[in-house]
Amino acid sequence: MNILVLGGGGREHALCWKLAQSAAIAEDGGTLYAAPGNPGIAECALLVSLDAGDHDAVTAFCRERAIGLVVIGPEAPLVDGLADSLRSASIAVFGPSRDAAQLEGSKNFTKGLCDRAGIPTAGYVHCASLEQAKQALSTFSPPFVLKADGLAAGKGVVIAENEDHAIEALADMFGGAFGDAGAEVVIEEFMEGEEVSLFALTDGESVIPFGTAQDHKRVGEGDTGPNTGGMGAYSPARVLTEALLAESMERIVFPTVRQMHKEGTPYVGVLYAGLMLTSEGPKLVEYNCRFGDPECQVLMMRLESDLAQYMLAASAGTLAALPEPSFAEDTAMTVVMAADGYPGTPKKGGTIDLDGAEREGVKVFHAGTKLADGALVANGGRVLNVTATGPSTKAAQHAAYAAVAKIDFPTGFYRTDIGWREIEREG
């Protein structure tokens, strides 16, 4: 079978690396295509130039190359309805419809769904104007959690320490700092606790847990400084114990999938639940309608099952027929090497030498790279995801940083403490 992966970051590199090992590609003579891909992805897939925003062009390509499955990596094409266009052309897709992708595309949609299905999450008020938002602030106490309603590339959440700061941030949101995404705002109660990411695959009815991870969203050591797309992650996140995992599935993920089905917008694909482990139990922080980046990289390092088989079953509605997926017991860790300036304006074009970094159990996924005159250079904020496995989080960390030390990327930087919470617990 031929498979097409859309996207060109570290998440898509990890997905392509794993899909290339699937029987559909590795044994049955299928071709793995990626658009636009990147130089790392080019090592395991055939790169093609396709605009994910041009649904007719993607559909025509799929017909011409007899694509048996399209995997949509990032959220924007999902929220834009690419999966709907492909499904209406009878092309199998891993990823939710436009309506179902509202779980990531609209904070207010998700809050409303939590209300309707009784899912534990932070209390909130939805505001359609700055005046309304200012009034609503008085019903919360600091720190204030302010969220632009729509997609804002991970930058639409502000945690304001005091009321002045909150009003300033609200004025920015309603003033268009996040474009249309900020035309409506959700103000939330602040939840205390540790964050963890839980992944589940679903075909709209059946749901299977698909691994846990912990991301490190702040740019600085010890989780300080501005938010980023994620500076590193490890899996599994053992802080989500068996009991807490079961509780999160029962109280959050299953009711979500059931409610989406009941409302006529069944969710197909991977559901990424960002959870807060509060003193009152796990609560939903947010949903994403795709794999996490860089969480996907650590999940794929541990996945032993055939990824294409699970994605196909999710798209075909036959997930119930598959056994639980198998993940290695080992911990996987990924360290993000970012370009100087990130998460502001990253310095592009810096040279990268990866020679000698990869070995058994160590994989360098490309997140933002390109070839310039045959040489690898930085081409984005997050540039490399240096990923390694080990029998403990400490061992995985040791292996990941040993690989980082072998990489020559003078205009890059990275956090040196990925996994610190879990390593403290391991003792």
Q: List contacts with ligand GLY (CB under 6 A).
A: 154, 215, 229-230, 288, 292-293, 295
CA 248 vs. chain centroid, Å, equals: 18
User: Shortest gap between Cβ of 230 and ligand GLY (angstroms)?
Assistant: 3
In the range 258-277, which residues lie near ligand AMP by CB under 6 A? 274
Cβ-based neighbours of 317, under 8 Å, separated by 6 or more: 203, 204, 205
User: Shortest gap between Cβ of 168 and ligand GLY (angstroms)?
Assistant: 25
Residue 14 φ then ψ, to 5°? -65, -40
Considering CB distances under 5 to 8 angstroms, the limit depending on partner class, which of ligand GLY, ligand AMP, none binds residue 157?
A: ligand AMP
The CA angle 364-202-65, to the nearest 5 degrees, is 65
Under DSSP, is residue 140 helix (H, G, I), strand (E, B) or coil? coil
Contact by Cβ (8 Å): 230, 216: yes
In the range 292-351, which residues lie near ligand AMP by CB under 6 A? none
231 binds ligand AMP (CB under 6 A): no
Output the CA–CA distances (angstroms, integers) from residue 224 to 144, 217, 415, in the order listed. 18, 9, 11
User: Whose Cβ is closer to ligand GLY: residue 30's or residue 380's?
Assistant: 380
201 binds ligand AMP (CB under 6 A): no
User: Shortest gap between Cβ of 311 and ligand AMP (angstroms)?
Assistant: 25
User: Shortest gap between Cβ of 4 and ligand GLY (angstroms)?
Assistant: 21
Considering CB distances under 5 to 8 angstroms, the limit depending on partner class, which of ligand AMP, ligand GLY, none binds residue 112?
A: none
Contact by Cβ (8 Å): 133, 126: no
User: Shortest gap between Cβ of 56 and ligand AMP (angstroms)?
Assistant: 32
Q: How many CA atoms lie within 13 A of 300 on its CB side?
A: 29
Residue 160 φ then ψ, to 5°? -100, 130
Under DSSP, is residue 273 helix (H, G, I), strand (E, B) or coil? strand
Considering CB distances under 5 to 8 angstroms, the limit depending on partner class, which of ligand GLY, ligand AMP, none binds residue 229?
A: ligand GLY
Considering CB distances under 5 to 8 angstroms, the limit depending on partner class, which of ligand GLY, ligand AMP, none binds residue 288?
A: ligand GLY
User: Whose Cβ is closer to ligand GLY: residue 36's or residue 154's?
Assistant: 154
157 binds ligand AMP (CB under 6 A): yes
CA 257 vs. chain centroid, Å, equals: 18
Residue 71 φ then ψ, to 5°? -110, 115
Considering CB distances under 5 to 8 angstroms, the limit depending on partner class, which of ligand GLY, ligand AMP, none binds residue 149?
A: none
Q: How many residues bind ligand AMP (CB under 6 A)?
A: 12
254 binds ligand AMP (CB under 6 A): no
User: Whose Cβ is closer to ligand GLY: residue 73's or residue 255's?
Assistant: 73
286 binds ligand AMP (CB under 6 A): yes
User: Shortest gap between Cβ of 393 and ligand GLY (angstroms)?
Assistant: 18
How many whole angstroms separate alpha carbon 231 and alpha carbon 289?
20
User: Shortest gap between Cβ of 408 and ligand AMP (angstroms)?
Assistant: 32
To which residue do tokens 């490309």 refer? 366
**What are the CB-based long-range contacts (under 8 Å, 24+) for 124-128?**
124/186, 124/187, 124/188, 124/189, 125/186, 125/187, 126/184, 126/185, 126/186, 127/184, 127/185, 127/186, 127/187, 128/183, 128/184
Residue 289 φ then ψ, to 5°? -100, 25
Q: Which of 272, 29, 11, 14 is nearest to 3 (CA)?
A: 29
Considering CB distances under 5 to 8 angstroms, the limit depending on partner class, which of ligand GLY, ligand AMP, none binds residue 422?
A: none
Considering CB distances under 5 to 8 angstroms, the limit depending on partner class, which of ligand AMP, ligand GLY, none binds residue 145?
A: ligand AMP
Cβ-based neighbours of 410, under 8 Å, separated by 6 or more: 350, 351
Residue of 119, 122, 338, 364 that binds ligand AMP (CB under 6 A): 122
Stretch 176-195: interaction string toward ligand AMP, x if CB under 6 A: ------------x-xx---x
User: Whose Cβ is closer to ligand AMP: residue 40's or residue 294's?
Assistant: 294
Residue nearest to ligand AMP (CB): 286
Contact by Cβ (8 Å): 125, 136: yes
User: Shortest gap between Cβ of 288 and ligand AMP (angstroms)?
Assistant: 8
Considering CB distances under 5 to 8 angstroms, the limit depending on partner class, which of ligand AMP, ligand GLY, none binds residue 55?
A: none
Contact by Cβ (8 Å): 15, 3: no
Residue of 14, 79, 145, 260 that binds ligand AMP (CB under 6 A): 145
Considering CB distances under 5 to 8 angstroms, the limit depending on partner class, which of ligand GLY, ligand AMP, none binds residue 285?
A: ligand AMP
Under DSSP, is residue 291 helix (H, G, I), strand (E, B) or coil? coil
Strands 93-94, 67-72: pairing kind: parallel
User: Shortest gap between Cβ of 49 and ligand GLY (angstroms)?
Assistant: 25
Binding site residues, ligand AMP, CB under 6 A = 122, 145, 147, 157, 188, 190-191, 195, 217, 274, 285-286
